[in-house]
Amino acid sequence: MMRAVSSNAFGLLIVCFLTFPEPLFPARSIINLDIVSPGVIGNYTASSINLSGPAFDVSISRLRERFLAHFNISHTFLYNYSILNCVDFQNEVQNMLARWYYTVDRSESVTVIMTPGCIESAQLNELAATWNVLLISTANSAPAIRDKAKSPSWVTTNLFPSSYYGEIFNQLIVFHNWTSIDILLDRGSTGSYVLMFSLTIAVLENRKMRATNRDYNSSSGEFEFPAFLQRVSTRNRILLFLGSPNELRKLLVGFDKLAIQGDNHCHESG
């Protein structure tokens, strides 16, 4: 009996689809989806378009394959060859994005800002909130994302905003019961390291943690890592280094020279 009822019901559905007027079942229109990815060109940061762009390309390709029947997807990398660091990009990103956004009439499309991120997420969020468009940040975020009045359309894949870096390092120090630490910053590296440095110093000072700070600029000349590490070894076992991979390599070479000389008191962390 149950099988007979199912068969009759299926037959009824077929009759309904065949006899209802066609206008009741209009074809679903394809949505135009414009995705823009503002970013920095070069090797200044790990989230630059050079390094993260291939992953974005693969993801967009997968989206097109999966939602071909529903979306017509376009993707634009937005950059300026004359902007090579995160600080300059943060200052210019709103102007760049606004020029792109207002170039064409976007009333017939859906806009999404999907960015690899540097330190400009707050500036992007201001425009996304004003335009009521989706903002997806990946490598960068900020506490403002929790305030839905200010960030109504912002989501992130980053679990820990960059503005919390100071707290990250503080928790690391507390976890290992370290009582003091040396911090070395290369101001010639990316702006994000400078941000980490200032945030970390502020948190450690607030928590009364003993921290000895030193900075240098790799773009102005070579830093004497062996001599610096020799001095660090007399007061600390922990060194937090904030700088580019190339400068980190030089630091490790200096550390190796120190170890060969028989002083293995210093331990590096970066």
**The pLDDT value given to residue 14:** 33
- Cα distance between residue 82 and residue 79, in whole Å: 9
Report pLDDT for 159: 67
Cα dist. 86→48, 116, 117, 156, 219 in Å? 9, 12, 9, 19, 16
Give me the pLDDT at residue 239, please: 92
34: left (phi over 0), alpha (psi -120 to 50) or beta: beta
72: Cα separation from own chain's centroid = 26
Angle at 41 between CA 35 and CA 45, to 5 degrees: 105
- pLDDT tens digits for the chain (270 residues)? 333 333 333 333 333 333 334 444 345 589 999 999 999 988 767 788 988 899 999 999 999 999 998 999 999 999 999 998 888 898 999 999 999 999 988 888 999 999 988 878 889 999 999 999 999 998 777 777 888 999 999 998 876 666 677 888 888 888 999 989 999 999 988 767 887 888 888 888 888 888 999 999 998 989 999 899 989 988 888 999 999 889 999 999 988 877 655 555 444 445
3-state DSSP percent of the chain in helix, strand and coil, to 5: 45, 20, 35
